[in-house]
Amino acid sequence: MSLTKLTFFTLLIVFLAISPLQADTTIPFKSEEQRIAERREIAAHAAFNNTSVEDVADNPRYVGQAVEWEGYFVFSDTKHRNVRYFANSNRAIKAENNMNFVFGIVFPQALPADARISVYSTRIYVKGKIIAVEKLFNNRTFTFSSHRQPIVEAAEVTFSREPYNSPLTIRYY
């Protein structure tokens, strides 16, 4: 290659990298009504799925399925400015040592400040859709999960805590 061709290709690459990207009009965007209807449908179908957390671990074929799980709040972290909560579905297994029964919960909106949402004392019931299966990092004990664990986008979530009589239920539809 001559120097002029090399310079031309270099300038072309730089120009393409600097030029603003055009929005793709073929990608359909969901309206708020469509998102609400989808979350309502997920919450309705979640009870019919008997898939456990350990079945979904390391198995991405379950992504997109509706689930209804319960567990105890173990730890939280932040990913892409969104707070994620993690729950242990098997109370007999300590999540500090074995995260095979831990699942993550992503909330479409910020949670309210409520005393029923507390680490290690809150029981979480969640209906939602599995959106990912990924390795987890417990930032309290500084341990990684040995398998990729499911992450659920909540359509409906209930927090219950011992001293409180009524649970806190939040519906995102």
- Take residue 63 and report the two structure tokens written for it: 């992504």
31-171 classified as CATH 1.10.10:
no
- Take residue 164 and report the two structure tokens written for it: 């409180």
Percent of the chain with pLDDT over 70: 81
pTM: 0.74
Burial (CB < 10 A; 0-12, 13-18, 19+), residue 78, is exposed
pLDDT tens readout for residues 23-75: 444 446 678 888 788 877 777 766 666 788 888 888 889 899 889 999 999 99
For the chain, which residues make up each domain, given as ranges?
31-171
Tell me which of 29 and 19 has the higher pLDDT.
29
Backbone torsion region of residue 139, taken as left when φ is above 0, otherwise alpha when ψ lies between -120 and 50, otherwise beta: alpha
pLDDT tens readout for residues 135-162: 999 888 888 889 999 999 999 999 998 8
First-to-final CA distance of the chain:
60
Burial (CB < 10 A; 0-12, 13-18, 19+), residue 133, is buried
What is the mean pLDDT of the segment spanning 93-119?
87
